[in-house]
Amino acid sequence: MSNFDVIVLGSGPGGYVTAIRASQLGFKTAIIEKENLGGVCLNWGCIPTKALLKSAQVFNYLKHAEDYGLSAENVDKDFDAVVKRSRGVADGMSKGVQFLMKKNKIEVIKGYGTLKAGKKVSVKDDEGKETEYGADHIIIATGARSRELPSLPQDGKKIIGYREAMTLKEQPKKMVVVGSGAIGIEFAYFYNAMGTEVTVVEYLPNIVPVEDEDISKQLERSLKKAGIKIKTSAEVTSVDTSGEGIKATVKTAKGEEILEADIVLSAVGIKTNIENIGLENVGISTDRDKILVNNYYQTNIPGYYAIGDVTPGQALAHVASAEGILCVEKIADMHVEPLDYGNIPGCTYCTPEIASVGLTEKQAKEKGLDIKVGKFPFSASGKAKAAGTPDGFVKVIFDAKYGEWLGCHMIGAGVTDMIAEAVVARKLETTGHEILKAVHPHPTMSEAVMEAVAAAYDEVIHL
């Protein structure tokens, strides 16, 4: 039996980052992976979807070349080529992780890992051979998969999840997307931009329901303008797949209606991968599909830890990475502070993009806080107008008494690259006046942050 200081089960952005940091800290480290290095994020999530979305964005630019004084005739897309480019990007990133494992002298163990008592993991390879490994510290980072609803059992053909949505052999003419979180909205935008007739069905009153209501309403307007049909406060109660396509029964306040399409994409959240990994062998505690951990990701059993989607924090790649780093630094007896889950940025990469951090206006009011709210529309931004991307705005929320930056919500071109300003400022406990007096470059999209802050304090110049 091989022995290590640290074994990481799962090689997603939580797992492989954890393994690298552990190796940097001098631990003899191994990582166990049953599929491709990089996990869902690099192979079937964050990275390949961004490649698809970029193709959709370029295609959209070409179709509107005249808006920029240009001429592009006979513009068309090759759906297979778009998918192949996405897969190529994912493969390249996975090979990059392989390089990082080798560079950091991390042993990669291929196979399916099962936890055992006594700080051991049994790994079964593709040929069915089992090998046992031991470590002083075992970190669970097995991630999650597409969640299935009883009314939407995925068959991989007519009712699909995000994996199939990235590799369809043929582009559907009509698609129903169930769920309007980041995954559902990104795919809705992609397929619509490619020419598919898309209908989004959301159970709650607003699409992207975790976002500030102003963001939700603006995105709904933008998506409808692009031709996407949206049904909120609606529920798919059943799907008939017996015919050539599908017939989805949708229940709304007005009654039931039937939506006909070629395919249904189920994007109703995720299910953690905690079954059949041996938690019961060790006695590790779980609650509501999550592994219970303390502030440093230790489970109830000494020597076993868990990070990423399998724990109660936000199911985001950057959260998993941060948790993993914090976890191994604590193991190394470094001074670390618990992660601030109130300062985690969230991003959705449709067009227009969405990025947010902190409290929404509604949440701030529900807390009874006296607040100042400022908004600055990109329609008043010289950079946005010149770029032909005037949709959207920046919205900021401050505590009226102390100037604390409570929340920042953006919708517009490139805002996923802008939200870090608010995250860092909040981490440093920066006040509204300090942001206002920090000179922002002109003309940029980012100066809309300064203008929104100015609006909150009744000092806005360009609006």
Domains assigned to the chain = 2-146+271-341 (3.50.50.60), 159-268 (3.50.50.60), 352-456 (3.30.390.30)
pLDDT tens for 106-164 read 999 999 999 999 999 999 998 899 999 999 999 999 999 989 988 899 999 999 999 99
Residue 106 marked ligand-binding: no
45 labeled binding residue: no
Q: Is 179 annotated as a binding residue?
A: yes
Contact assessment for residue 121 and residue 34, using Cβ atoms and an 8 Å cutoff? no
pLDDT in tens, 183-228: 999 999 999 999 999 999 999 999 999 999 999 999 999 999 999 9
155 is an annotated ligand-binding site residue: no
- In this prediction, residue 429 carries a pLDDT of 96
Q: Give dist(CA 19, CA 33) in Å, integer.
A: 12
CA distance 168 to 262: 12
- Six-digit token pair at 26? 């001098």
Who contacts 105 (Cβ-Cβ below 8 Å, separation ≥6)? 23, 29
At residue 274, what are phi and psi to the nearest 5 degrees? -115, -5
Confidence of residue 414 (pLDDT cuts 50, 70, 90): very high
Q: What's this model's pTM, rounded to 2 decimal places?
A: 0.94
Write the DSSP string, 344-406. --EEE-SSSEEEEEE--HHHHHHTT--EEEEEEEGGG-HHHHHHT----EEEEEEETTT-BEE
Task: Please check the confidence at residue 2 and state whether its pLDDT lies above 90.
Answer: no
pLDDT tens digits, one per residue of 41-68: 888 888 999 999 999 999 999 999 999 9
Are the beta carbons of 177 and 229 closer than 8 angstroms? no
Rg (CA), the chain: 24
Q: For 308-357, what is each residue's pLDDT tens digit?
A: 999 999 999 999 999 999 999 999 999 999 999 999 999 999 999 999 99
> What tokens appear for 223 in the block?
């998506």
Yes or no: say if 228 and 234 are a contact pair by the CB < 8 Å rule: no
> Is 446 annotated among the ligand-binding residues?
no
Distance, in Å, from the CA atom of 355 to the CA atom of 411, rounded to the nearest integer, reads 7
**Nearby residues of 315 by Cβ (< 8 Å), 6 or more positions away:** 144, 270, 308, 309
DSSP structure class, residue 301 = S
Q: Is 202 labelled a binding residue?
A: yes
| Residue 39, pLDDT score | 86
Kindly report the average pLDDT of the chain as a whole number.
95
301 annotated to a ligand binding site: no
Confidence bin at 1 (pLDDT 50/70/90): low
Q: CB within 8 A of 452, min separation 6: which ones?
A: 374, 375, 376, 393, 394, 395, 396
183 is in an annotated binding site: yes
Residue 292 pLDDT level (bands cut at 50, 70, 90): very high
Q: Is 285 annotated as a binding residue?
A: no
Question: Around 295, how many Cα atoms within 13 Å sit in the side-chain half-sphere?
Answer: 6
Positions annotated as catalytic residues are: 442
